[in-house]
């Protein structure tokens, strides 16, 4: 009896000891976060940063490691970067993305260039509102990383270096405070740093540091409708400078169907439930568009030539097709000029920026 009592006592000391060791296990690591100001090219708006997730060097570094880490997928085979690769301006250059089970989704991966500015919904249909909310989706999506948050959080807690990095980024005292919300915050911080370098030819031209060829200049005038004697290609209304997007939802007439109920992907209507939003998608940035093909939400067009031919045709009619999508009557040399101008939006410095690459 005495033996049992001693054992119980001993055992509870052990338990208490372990339990005690596990609370505040990170407290000895210093927490001195370094705030980061996101630098943006001249003429860009100030990027909105939520006060609930201020950007720090430590948070960005942690987010970068997580972004490239395959422990975010069930079988350790894929990370965020598998579908968002720097070389493709953070797309995967596939028509539609495939997840860890090799199952193809219905949509094309989106560029993360200047993603911190998106303030009217994320995804092609705008179903997430913030980067913090969006980052929770791919981990559990069955056609993406296909795992569960409890699994990922447990892996991160047991990891050799992550608990320390979470301490440095968020000041947690114990690894048990690691949560999916903190993982998402770190991912969001890293993604907000993915800003244009300002070295695209267009940006240098705006600053008088580069010259446009006559062809590029004609494309620029067509794109923004700057000369009454030159045709209007209407592009600038929906892909407006300086970000070359509008963060709004349009039907740009790519679908050869007659009725709003026939869209194979209902797009914005899946979020709003409004039939009139069927086939409307977010107008994405055209910056680095030369690097992100194939094009549109389902990757249906392989080349920019096909895209411009589509707009030139006026697209397929539905009741909600935007009136700016109309036959443009562009001649071959005008179509080529438009494409030459679009090439001036390519920012190779951005995709090569060392701080954006896989840290491993």
Q: Which residues bind ligand HEC (CB under 6 A)?
A: 72, 78, 80, 82-84, 97, 99, 105, 107-110, 112, 115, 118, 122-125, 131, 134-135, 138-139, 144-145, 187, 191, 233-235, 237-239, 250, 252, 254, 281, 283-284, 286, 289, 292, 295-297, 307-308, 311, 322, 324-325, 338
The answer to whether the CB of 260 falls within 8 A of the CB of 254 is: no
Comparing CA positions, the residue from 263, 300, 257, 302 lying closest to residue 280 is: 263
Identify which of residues 61 and 322 has a Cβ nearer to ligand HEC in the complex.
322
Distance CA 90, CA 80 (A): 10
The answer to whether the CB of 100 falls within 8 A of the CB of 82 is: no
What is the closest distance, in whole angstroms, from the C-beta atom of residue 170 to ligand HEC in the complex? Answer: 17
What is the closest distance, in whole angstroms, from the C-beta atom of residue 31 to ligand HEC in the complex? Answer: 25
Distance CA 11, CA 4 (A): 10
What is the closest distance, in whole angstroms, from the C-beta atom of residue 162 to ligand HEC in the complex? Answer: 15
Identify which of residues 23 and 129 has a Cβ nearer to ligand HEC in the complex.
129
* 329 Ramachandran zone, left/alpha/beta (phi>0; psi -120 to 50): left
Identify which of residues 29 and 85 has a Cβ nearer to ligand HEC in the complex.
85
What is the closest distance, in whole angstroms, from the C-beta atom of residue 1 to ligand HEC in the complex? Answer: 56
What is the closest distance, in whole angstroms, from the C-beta atom of residue 195 to ligand HEC in the complex? Answer: 14
Identify which of residues 149 and 205 has a Cβ nearer to ligand HEC in the complex.
149
Identify which of residues 44 and 124 has a Cβ nearer to ligand HEC in the complex.
124
Identify which of residues 24 and 264 has a Cβ nearer to ligand HEC in the complex.
264
What is the closest distance, in whole angstroms, from the C-beta atom of residue 6 to ligand HEC in the complex? Answer: 51
Maximum pairwise Cα distance, the chain: 103
How big is the CA angle at 195 (ends 122 and 209), to the nearest 5 degrees? 135
Distance CA 29, CA 26 (A): 6
């Amino acid at each position: 009896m005495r033996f049992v009592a001693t054992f119980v006592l001993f055992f509870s000391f052990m338990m208490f000891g372990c339990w005690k060791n596990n609370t505040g296990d990170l407290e000895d690591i210093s927490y001195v976060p370094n705030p980061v100001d996101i630098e943006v090219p001249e003429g860009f708006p100030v990027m909105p940063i939520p006060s609930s997730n201020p950007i720090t060097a430590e948070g960005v570094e942690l987010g970068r490691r997580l972004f490239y880490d395959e422990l975010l997928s069930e079988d350790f085979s894929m990370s965020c970067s598998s579908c968002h690769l720097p070389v493709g301006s953070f797309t995967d250059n596939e028509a539609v993305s495939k997840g860890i089970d090799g199952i193809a989704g219905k949509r094309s991966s989106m560029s993360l260039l200047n993603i911190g500015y998106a303030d009217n919904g994320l995804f092609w249909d705008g179903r997430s509102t913030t980067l913090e909310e969006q980052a929770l989706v791919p981990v559990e999506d069955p056609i993406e990383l296909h795992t569960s948050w409890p699994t990922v959080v447990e892996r991160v807690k047991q990891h050799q270096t992550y608990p320390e990095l979470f301490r440095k980024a968020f000041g947690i005292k114990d690894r048990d405070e690691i949560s999916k919300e903190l993982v998402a915050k770190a991912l969001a911080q890293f993604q907000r740093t993915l800003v244009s370098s300002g070295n695209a030819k267009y940006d240098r031209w705006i600053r008088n540091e580069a010259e446009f060829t006559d062809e590029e200049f004609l494309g620029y005038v067509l794109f923004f409708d700057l000369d009454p004697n030159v045709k209007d290609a209407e592009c600038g209304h929906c892909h407006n400078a300086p970000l070359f997007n509008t963060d709004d939802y349009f039907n740009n007439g790519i679908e050869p169907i007659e009725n709003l109920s026939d869209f194979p992907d209902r797009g914005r209507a899946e979020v709003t439930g409004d039939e009139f939003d069927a086939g409307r998608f977010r107008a994405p940035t055209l910056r680095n568009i030369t690097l992100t093909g194939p094009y549109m939400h389902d990757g249906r067009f392989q080349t920019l030539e096909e895209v411009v031919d589509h707009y030139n045709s006026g697209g397929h009619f539905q009741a909600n097709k935007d009136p700016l999508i109309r036959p443009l009557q562009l001649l071959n040399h005008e179509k080529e000029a438009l494409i030459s101008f679009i090439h001036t939006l390519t920012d190779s410095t951005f995709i090569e920026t060392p701080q954006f690459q896989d840290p491993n």
